[in-house]
Structure 1
Amino acid sequence: MTLLDHVPAPPAEGAGDAGRALVHALHALVRAEAGAEAQAAGIEAADLEQSVWLRLLEPGREALADPARRVRAAVRAEARVARRRVRRERAYTAGEPPGDWAGSPERITVGADERRALRAAVGRLPGRCPRLLEAMLAPHDPTYREIAGELGMSQGSLGPMRSRCLGCLRRMLAAEVVAPELRGMER
């Protein structure tokens, strides 16, 4: 089956042949124009070409006075529609939360609260753990050698001490998390 088999026949007798002749005459031009505009519009050339044919062959359209100019105008109009659609639409994947709130004020506030709670919990740790974890959380991302020099301890003891401090921090934060209250039939 070809594209010509899907061209709707106009109501007038013999006009179907005119529609088929139009498709034959403009097929190469529509394909070339759609191919040239598709990448900039952010869609496949075949999709743009199909949209242009729908625009050109929809019922009620007057006859093409200057076919080449009408084809170029239709391609550009459909490309504009496609660019707007590409800017507005975004594919949803099941692994991500709906909406992009990475830079939103809510996410910034939640992140600041989480960092503040972490720093407060680190400050409550026993022994040299607060100094060690504060050094590891430093914004300039120091190396183990720099941290060891700053704290006056051997570089080899940083890993085991970090592990013990993080374990202590994990237990402290787990104790602070309140279990959800049971409601209704769950009791």
Structure 2
Amino acid sequence: MTYDLVAALRPLLTAEASAEAHATGSEPGDLEQAVWVRLLERLAADGPPPDPQRWLRRAVRAEARRGRRTVRREHPYGAEPADDARPGPEQLALAAARYGLLREAVGRLPGRCPRLLEALLSPKDPTYREIAGELGISQGSLGPERSRCLGCLRRLLAPEVAAGGVRG
């Protein structure tokens, strides 16, 4: 009986949905689907409507009104939230954790390396001349010293970086 009702109503629903859908800004297929769901809910709760064609026309118009209300009330984002250039809380937390790991690893370096890399990572952005004066070494030896310290840091962080990656 349900199959016969659906088969009998299909052409009417297609025509009604096509006529109403363009006014709502939706696709006729979406409107049809919403009405089929309403019909199934109606069949489960109360059985078939006494006048199925009349019920179907009313259901199509009700769904079309609902669609128009939705279009008036919902406003699209200017851009997708995922496309926002600003970092979200998750990215900020991960960056803070990485920064903390980096600072902790710099503190474990040998010799002058912690002081040199702290100076290089300083938000004040000192020049090589200022760093050399602060550390009491020649400006010419900063490059090789920096290179040696970064190599030590790279070796120190290699197990942590390798463990954090997903493999497979």
TM-score (norm. length: structure 1): 0.44
Which structure has the highest helix share of the two?
2
